[in-house]
Structure 1
């Protein structure tokens, strides 16, 4: 990646949240169901919504998600919650209620948290470039 910005970091957090939701559910190992699947008649399913299928994310998306999850270690706990809520597309109203502040303050805190991540990513990038020059 050439240059990290607040927008690119925010996009990566959004992608990580979407990827996390597409992962298969965690199940307890060793338990299974021996009962046969019940095939229902169409009239038995009249009011039921059809089940939607989710396709698992590709391995590259999972790798990017894991890398993005490492970035939250640079943030304080409140900043982590704020960034993750925004990545999951919570409305600003819900975020403001959660953090007991107005919308502008919540946006400033979110922007500051992403700036911390951008600064750390730039430092890591400069360290790698400086290390290669030696």
Structure 2
């Protein structure tokens, strides 16, 4: 498979969605002392409709994709993950303290780096963000 930044972005978005759909972890050993009829009325009011749990294949793809973020700079990984979760650019920029244009360049740079590594290409040590983005435009 020839990885592109778009495919990497889609896989990370799927991983974020899969992670969101996993069942919640419940603390064992805690019980409510409220009568059952109150518990039922509360659970009916606060019911949130969730999509079905993810498939085993989706969980496997998520497990493959999440380590990709560890290869990135901390700020770049945060930008990529926030975008994978569907956060708007305004929220991303507030979280990382960068302008919209700079955050977008970091995001594209990170996706290109991941796709290069997945394709087995060696990344030159002295390559700049601008050079990687220029190479991507030429492809």
Q: State the TM-score bracket (shorter-chain normalisation).
A: 0.7 to 0.9
User: How far is the alpha carbon of 1:92 from its aligned partner?
Assistant: 0.5
My pick for the range that moved more, 59-68 or 93-102, is: 93-102
Q: Does 1:123 align with 2:120?
A: yes
Question: 1:20-39 residue pairs with structure 2 within 5 A?
Answer: 20-29=19-28, 31-33=29-31, 37-38=36-37, 39=40
Q: Distance in 2 between matches of 1:72 and 1:97?
A: 20
Q: Which has the higher contact order (CA 8 A, sep 6+)?
A: 1
Structure 1, unaligned runs of 5 or more: 125-134
Q: Which residue number corresponds to residue 10 of structure 2?
A: 11
TM, length-normalised to structure 1 = 0.77
Aligned length: 116
Q: Does 1:106 align with 2:103?
A: yes
Q: Which residue number corresponds to residue 57 of structure 1?
A: 54
Of the three residues 86, 90, 105, the one matched with 2:87 is 90
User: How far is the alpha carbon of 1:34 from its aligned partner?
Assistant: 6.8
Runs of 4+ in 1 over 2 A off after TM superposition: 32-40, 48-51
Of the three residues 50, 64, 72, the one matched with 2:69 is 72
User: How far is the alpha carbon of 1:97 from its aligned partner?
Assistant: 1.7
SS at match of 1:80: helix
TM, length-normalised to structure 2 = 0.74
Question: CA RMSD for the aligned pairs?
Answer: 2.1
Q: Distance in 2 between matches of 1:34 and 1:104?
A: 50
The question of whether the paired residues in 1 share the 8 Å contact of 2:21 and 2:50 is answered with no
